[in-house]
Structure 1
């Protein structure tokens, strides 16, 4: 058509590949730009890094980020956030923290997304102490934690068996002007379940509507599992029954946890199946 692609054309195509999960094609387009006498900019690189992040290619994402200054393209907040998120999805908490710490040296200040992705990386890496440290350090950098930051930290405590810390974080959220959501409650209930605190799990579940948060399948499943571990088959049956009143349909996990609670209590599991079927 005798129309040569320009910077905007390439950026649009790379972004389309990123949204379509085609990270190899995105990299191919990025590398071909100089051959067409079109120099990539931060938008080109950001889209390519994000494509690698979605494709689980954290090493390639880091390589792209580090190569940007070589062609006089300076990484911005979006570049770092995409690379940190790539490390988070790849379970690479150390590179994620390295990127977060290096941002000020590049005159890029971390914000909520940067910290939340780094905390989530620590959570996936089983580093609950690091996750809490990052959450506490946000205020020092004048960054206000949001519900995503708290959810990742609570989940880190849950995986680390720190149910007390998880509850402490949940209770501190309103003080910080952050309202708990379904994810934060689910993480706290699951922490109580793993810690063998079925009473606290039930208390959290019952308090959710007061905070304008409706329990979902995951919420009930964690609470039922907590009752199962505590040998509270009556409580497990009550939760299974109450799911229908909140328009939450029991699934296989709900039923299996309740059945296990019944069997531990010496009760016939057929009662659970009958309750779960709504008959």
Structure 2
């Protein structure tokens, strides 16, 4: 049935809907499955919420205030917390976090139910705009306005995520301690956020991980991925591999598996543990997970760093890896590997391909090489009738 709704974006449809003065706002038209028992106000609040969300998709964040004003003044309705949170989120995406705080104050003044929804939206808006200090300042404000413990965990978790944005790992630890002092049991979400905030301190992250078992909390794929990534940053390949084995053993579903594998493989590569990298790659394939280009590059780089150049080449020219388009990292890894194997013609052919595609040649690996290796390169290149100079441009 044609209701005369114009074609185009969701924003265009929202403008048509509300520009008619509400004549087209009828539950039977907008959604035939809406129960007749639901009030018109409930439906209007939901419709306005969707219209506000569409402002983010079309970069029309200024219209958020117009819609809110129409809802309260023209329609004579009261704001609800979901509507306010949606508006704050749109303003946050537009880097207008200060205006989001004004809306939060309005919601607080009206003592709307479930204020934590609006507070967490405001904290996220501040964090998105790098105003993480302001996101932290909203926590004591919420604690002052809300007496019971409902929703406090969510606001604490949002504050801890702000610590991550500001690289304030000690503040994240302090917030977790504060939660326990207030007889709040930090949820897994809050703990995962704290682990991410402490990602530069792998020892602290692993301490958090160990406490989960003591407090009878089961880590999820986000927990494992965060812990493995922290180990990767510090080259703790053994710990990363152990955590990955636990993740595989628990068989947790999710999209984080390949990321966790890549982090563990990369951690092994940083320490030139190329055999461990290949072992993890083999495990990934046995689990029928699809490796991405980052997987192949991490494994190949691990081999190249350990002078296992033949294995590195074999990985990057494998049938599975050839499905991906070669980027500058792949080319440079191949050039370095072929060079170590003194396959000058192939290495220089790769170099020529990079120049044709205007790719940048990374020569740090050559500049850091010993004198003997540089002499090998000079000898091989001279034998091909080319100059060494372009590699150092």
TM-score interval for Structure 1 and Structure 2 normalised by the shorter chain: 0.7 to 0.9
Taking the aligned partners of 1:63 and 1:260, their CA distance within structure 2 comes to 50
* Paired residues for 1:132-147 under 5 Å: 132-147=206-221
The answer to whether residue 110 in structure 2 is matched with residue 38 in structure 1 is: yes
Taking the aligned partners of 1:106 and 1:91, their CA distance within structure 2 comes to 25
Tell me: CA distance 1:238–1:136, structure 2 relative to 1, closer, same or farther (3 Å). same
Q: Gaps spanning 5+ residues in structure 2: where?
A: 1-72, 357-393
Q: RMSD in angstroms over aligned alpha carbons?
A: 2.6
Structure 1 position 181, deviation (Å) = 0.6
Asked if 1 retains the 8 angstrom alpha-carbon contact of 2:143 and 2:152, the reply is no
The answer to whether residue 193 in structure 2 is matched with residue 117 in structure 1 is: yes
The answer to whether residue 293 in structure 2 is matched with residue 221 in structure 1 is: no
Tell me: CA distance 1:170–1:12, structure 2 relative to 1, closer, same or farther (3 Å). closer
The partner residue of 2:122 within 36, 45, 48 is 48
The answer to whether residue 241 in structure 2 is matched with residue 167 in structure 1 is: yes
Tell me: CA distance 1:107–1:51, structure 2 relative to 1, closer, same or farther (3 Å). farther
Taking the aligned partners of 1:174 and 1:232, their CA distance within structure 2 comes to 28
Taking the aligned partners of 2:298 and 2:87, their CA distance within structure 1 comes to 44
* TM-score, normalised by the number of residues in structure 2: 0.63
Structure 1 position 167, deviation (Å) = 1.1
Structure 1 position 89, deviation (Å) = 2.4
Taking the aligned partners of 2:296 and 2:121, their CA distance within structure 1 comes to 39
Asked if 2 retains the 8 angstrom alpha-carbon contact of 1:154 and 1:169, the reply is yes
* Paired residues for 1:67-216 under 5 Å: 67-72=141-146, 76-123=152-199, 126-178=200-252, 181-216=257-292
Give the number of the structure with larger relative contact order, counting CA–CA contacts within 8 Å between residues 6 or more apart: 1
Taking the aligned partners of 1:86 and 1:197, their CA distance within structure 2 comes to 35
Residue 252 of structure 2 aligns to a residue whose secondary structure is: coil
Asked if 2 retains the 8 angstrom alpha-carbon contact of 1:240 and 1:275, the reply is no
Taking the aligned partners of 1:174 and 1:225, their CA distance within structure 2 comes to 24
What is the aligned partner in structure 2 of residue 23 from structure 1?
97
Taking the aligned partners of 2:319 and 2:265, their CA distance within structure 1 comes to 16
The partner residue of 2:312 within 227, 236, 251 is 236
Higher gyration radius (CA): 2
Bigger drift between 74-83 and 88-97 goes to 74-83
**Post-superposition CA distance 1:111-159 (Å, at most 9, x none):** 2221112112111xx2111010000101222211111111111111122
Structure 1 position 225, deviation (Å) = 0.9
Q: Gaps spanning 5+ residues in structure 1: where?
A: none
